Amino acid sequence: MPKLEPAENEAPQLTSVSVSKIEDGDVAETCKMLQACASDGGFYLSLSSDADANRHGVSGRHPLLALADHVFGTAKELFSMPLEDKMHWEMDLWGELQIGGYKPVGKHSGVRRGGQDGFENFLVPTNALLDMHPNPNPYHPDWPTPLKDNLDQVTEFGTLCSDLAVRLLVAMSKAIDPPPATPYQLCHRPGKPSTTSLAMLHYLPRTSLVESHQVGHMAHTDVGSLTLLFTSTPGLEVYRPSSEEWVPVIPREGTIFINVGDSLRFISGGRFNSCLHRVVPLAGKSLERYSLAFFCRPELTAISEDTEGRQWTGEEWHRAKYKVFRATNHEQEKSSLLTGRKGFLGELMG
């Protein structure tokens, strides 16, 4: 008998850990995080706690959350621009690494077989924000107005996300037994060129503008090392390998979701699992969804080995993976690049 989709209130819980406990060196909390990386490949990270109230002032609200609110505002302004204006920044015009620019709805496969995706996104390469050289992508000084007007906050948000990702990598490297030959953070040195990027995503409500075959976000594992995901709207699901079921990620106040990508799976010698996830359509037709995803990715020249012993630089893996996002379902099924499993697309049934 097919497994029932779990109702929200009986969802098998994904692990939740507190950032302040991890940063205070709490061994049990850090082990919980490592276990989640090895099993589901993802976990909730709570940024708010009593300890944070002391650290960050009376409100106890982590500065990253306040900045995220601001960047959501920027994203909403940006996506409300006319399509023809947004297309000036179409990601293919921007640069061949596809770590910057605008992706219109329907460019990639979607969550239903044979269909297309149901979201638009705008990617901001953090290299360009911090104006690094050499830069893998041409710097595009002429940002869309909403981004230009809020560049300081967006830059600060990217910097804080990057700091947090690196602190998590440090905690992981310290706690894992046996310790890695190269601590994970040394492949993610801030200031070194990488494909690290910040994505603003907008899942459109199902109106006449969005065809019925343009739905959600296909099942995939992320190309990089750690993804920091911010959203207040459900829709994201994680595939739990141990029970072969999709588990919903339910947004919680003061909490973000972290997932392990392919690069960290490789760097960890396969001890971590890359989180297989997808975004399914919302129940209400008129609902729309915004999310922010900070993709912490290894340095362009960092070398890691996949589970079949093949070596990749950060850049090579990135290029191989992006090709498959645009392939047909038939092509995608032939390799394990997209979902980590050959012949498994994890599409939404029914």
Ligand X SMILES: O=C(O)CCC(=O)C(=O)O
Give the residues lining the site for ligand X (CB under 6 A).
199, 201, 217, 222, 229, 231, 236, 277, 279, 291, 293
Which CB atom, from 29 or from 120, has the smaller least distance to ligand X? Answer: 120
Tell the smallest beta-carbon distance from residue 223 to Fe ion (Å): 9
296 contact choice in ligand X, Fe ion, none (CB below 5 to 8 Å, kind-dependent): none
| Binding partner at 112 among Fe ion, ligand X, none, C-beta below 5 to 8 Å by kind | none
Q: Which residue is nearest to Fe ion (CB)?
A: 222
259 vs 268 by CB, closer to ligand X: 259
Least CB distance to ligand X at residue 145 (A):
24
The partner in contact with residue 318, picked from ligand X, Fe ion, none with C-beta cut-offs of 5 to 8 angstroms by kind, is: none
222 binds Fe ion (CB under 5 A): yes
Alpha-helix runs per DSSP H in the chain: 19-23, 27-38, 50-56, 63-79, 83-86, 91-94, 126-129, 145-149, 151-175, 262-267, 314-325, 329-334
Q: State whether residue 191 is helix, strand or coil.
A: coil
Instruction: Select the binding partner of residue 120 from ligand X, Fe ion, none (C-beta < 5 to 8 A, by kind).
Output: none
CA angle 122, 298, 333 (to 5 degrees): 70
128 vs 148: CA distance, rounded Å: 13
- 169 vs 229, beta carbon nearer Fe ion: 229
**Angle value at C-alpha 192, between 190 and 196, nearest 5 degrees:** 75
Which CB atom, from 155 or from 233, has the smaller least distance to ligand X?
233
Interacting residues of 168 by C-beta distance below 8 A, sequence separation 6+: 22, 33, 45, 226, 258
Using the contact rule CB under 5 A, the part of the chain among 102-110, 218-226, 266-274, 315-323 near Fe ion is 218-226
The identity of residue 242, as a single letter, is: S
Q: What angle do CA 220, 294, 108 make, to 5 degrees?
A: 35
Binding mask 163-202 for Fe ion (x = CB under 5 A): ----------------------------------------
* C-beta neighbour count of 39 within 10 angstroms: 17
Choice between 30 and 231, CB closer to ligand X: 231
Please provide residue 306's backbone torsions phi and psi, each rounded to the nearest 5 degrees: -80, 180
| Residue 231 binds which entry of ligand X, Fe ion, none, CB below 5-8 Å type-dependent | ligand X
Binder of residue 229, out of Fe ion, ligand X, none (CB less than 5 to 8 A by kind): ligand X
The interface partner of residue 291, options being Fe ion, ligand X, none and the CB cut-off 5 to 8 Å by kind, is ligand X
CB of 227 to ligand X, least distance (A): 6
Min dist CB 309 to ligand X, Å, is 26
> Quick one: three-class SS letters along 300-317?
CCCEEECCCCCEEEHHHH
Nearest distance, CB of residue 222 and Fe ion, angstroms: 4
Report CA dihedral (288, 217, 104, 124) to the nearest 10 degrees: 90
Q: What is the distance between the alpha carbons of residues 41 and 14, in angstroms, rounded to a whole number?
A: 10
Minimum distance between the CB of residue 277 and ligand X, rounded to whole angstroms? 6
Residues that bind Fe ion (CB under 5 A): 222
